Structure 1
């Protein structure tokens, strides 16, 4: 869908798989182009989930203003429609300050809701229905979704219970497939989409190193602190692989910490493959060669884009 008109404000989007270097590059670009960053990460909105989400540090936030970090407590549900509303509000405020907005993150669905201005079904959470769905095995939920909404069943992150349950919730409350209720409105922004492209073996090495670093930084302690504050293991499972595997280790589901770390690395590689498959479908993305001068490539693309020319 063509979304570039002279009347639309400019939005630079920096995306890519986990551990690709989005945060550092986003900060460097924002510093160069008088920008502010809106995080497009479905987990960094939660207060206290810092290590497992690779949230930027206070020192990094001091370099460039960041938005949509630490928005809600982890006990609360933060939906994609809430993200869309908050992200657009943050971008508009950045534009009003005369600064350049950068949308930076790896949550593809979150990014799409802003770039393509999705009309998202506004079905309020149904606590009783959600509780019933949460009590069912994920395989059973996926089978039910495949019957009610085959399109969503094919495209959804099948290992994310929260997404599966939300799609089922909308289907069951409205009586219509979730995928048929998500339309596209007139885009709000003229967007430049930049992706960071690593050779797969190097990317896997970066992922493995990041997991080792997270363990050294205290991932298990972070999970134990959340449990002490009343967060359930089931809720932790919904926050992605790092929290799911750490929670399982604390429940005694792995023979050792070393086994958990190795299996987490393999699972993260698999998740990254699915992330990249999703991103590769979007032909608007300009992929930057991470083995080259990444900042120079990105700066050139942004400069060309902001001059209202077509980047190459």
Structure 2
């Protein structure tokens, strides 16, 4: 997977290409940090191979939990924004803190856009969103997630630092290893996805430029029209 810096380079090249062709780029979904990396003024601290190697060795030896606890002590805001299971991002945050001597969040940008951008968020009431998440996980299982992970495990999935910790993959790998039952893995996937959704919502809610529209069941039919109405207004964020 691309780092935020690499994603920024690739995304901006594509955005610039589309703008030069007279087309309107649409960036949908994704991690809040990656979205901001693409559209906001954002520079990235360098890396230190020695620090990175030491932190990655700690990750391999002890898992992401102790490293996330270390991050929570050094930068509580960063720890709240990064899932404890996301070892790669935890390592990067700790590396930046050690290199710069400042909290990781101090290196994040203000709300200054590189492009004239309209940002739209779709809000869903928590009980409804939780029900959608549970239904989505059920459909993942019905579509053969366990068999998919079993096949990928044979191709080296467990050795991947990021893919092995993806929602669903991590839980099924635990079940295949005998650490829990398949029903427990499914339930934990639901719980972990709900936690991830709450973090994503909190991240985007902090950005005052986002125009929020309701995506509740009773209002979904008119959602596209309301979004287009915003686009047609002279509104930028």
TM range (shorter): 0.7 to 0.9
Determine whether 1:93 maps to 2:23: no
Report the counterpart of residue 81 of structure 1 in structure 2.
Answer: 5
Question: 1:86-235 counterparts in 2 under 5 A?
Answer: 86-123=10-47, 128-134=53-59, 135-184=61-110, 187-232=113-158, 235=161
Deviation at 1:79, TM superposition (A): 0.8
Question: In the alignment, is the contact (CA less than 8 A) between 2:119 and 2:210 conserved in 1?
Answer: yes
Cα distance change, pair 304–155 in 1 and its aligned pair in 2 (3 A): closer
* Conserved? CA contact 2:118–2:236, under 8 Å: no
Are residue 284 (structure 1) and residue 212 (structure 2) matched?
A: no
More strand by share: 1
- SS of the residue corresponding to residue 119 of structure 1 reads coil
- Structure 1 spans left out of the alignment, 5+ residues: 1-76
Higher relative contact order (CA 8 A, sep 6+): 1
Q: TM-score, normalised by structure 2?
A: 0.83
* Superimposed CA distance per residue, residues 230-281 of structure 1 (whole angstroms, 9 cap, x where no aligned partner): 23256366542211101111111113x2222122212222222222222222
Q: Normalized per residue, which structure has more helix?
A: 2
- Conserved 8 A contact 2:119-2:211: yes
The answer to whether residue 228 in structure 2 is matched with residue 302 in structure 1 is yes
Aligned residues, how many? Answer: 234
1:244-283 mapped onto 2 (5 Å cutoff): 244-255=170-181, 257-283=182-208
**Counterparts of 1:158 and 1:201, CA distance in 2:** 24
Aligned-residue CA RMSD (Å): 2.8
The CA distance in 2 between the partners of 1:87 and 1:238, in whole Å, is 25
CA distance 1:233–1:215, change in 2 (3 Å)? farther
Tell me which residue corresponds to 1:242: 168
- Give 1:20's aligned residue: none
Distance 1:98 1:184 in 2: 28
Which shows bigger deviation, 85-94 or 124-133? Answer: 124-133
Change (3 A) 1:123 1:214: same
